[in-house]
Amino acid sequence: MPDKGFPDPREEDIIYADRRISRPDASLPDWEVPDAAYRPVPIVWFTGAMFMQMTLQIVVLVIGQRWLALPHLLVFGCALLASGLVWHNTMNRGMAGASLVWRFATLIGLLAWLGLSTLALFG
């Protein structure tokens, strides 16, 4: 039984609104690339770094200052080391390939948390 007014997808593309769909059985339009590899955006790495920094700074301050009563400079050194590890981990996760603005924002965020930890330590 011939189709009544419907284009044959084997012979021509189907126009749907302003998009061209090559196959009617595909649920994705032509501008969607289903075979592309997933690459998280830099905001994901930035947010992960901020959460990791926040958690590690609190852990370093609580363990070093409250529980072990270590000298303030030693606790600050541990906090600085934790910040360096967060930076290194974030760069290895993919932030090294991000734009300079994202790397700068990450550095400023890490330094801000380190500054808050220093203020809590020496203030």
Looking at per-residue confidence, does 122 or 87 come out higher? 87
Looking at per-residue confidence, does 113 or 24 come out higher? 113
Residue 41 is predicted with a pLDDT of 85
Q: What are the boundaries of each domain within the chain? A: 1-36, 42-122
Across residues 12-33, what is the average pLDDT? 57
pLDDT at 4 over 70: no
- Cα dihedral angle (95, 103, 90, 45), rounded to 10 degrees? -70
The tens digit of pLDDT for each residue in 70-101 reads: 999 999 999 999 999 999 999 999 899 999 99
DSSP result, the chain: ---SSPPPTTTSPEEETTEEES-TT-SS-TT--TTSPP---HHHHHHHHHHHHHHHHHHHHIIIIIIS---HHHHHHHHHHHHHHHHHHHHHHTGGGS-HHHHHHHHHHHHHHHHHHHHHHH-
pLDDT at 37 over 60: no
Q: State what percent of residues in the chain have pLDDT above 70.
A: 67
Looking at per-residue confidence, does 87 or 37 come out higher? 87
Q: How does residue 123 score in pLDDT terms, banded at 50, 70 and 90?
A: confident
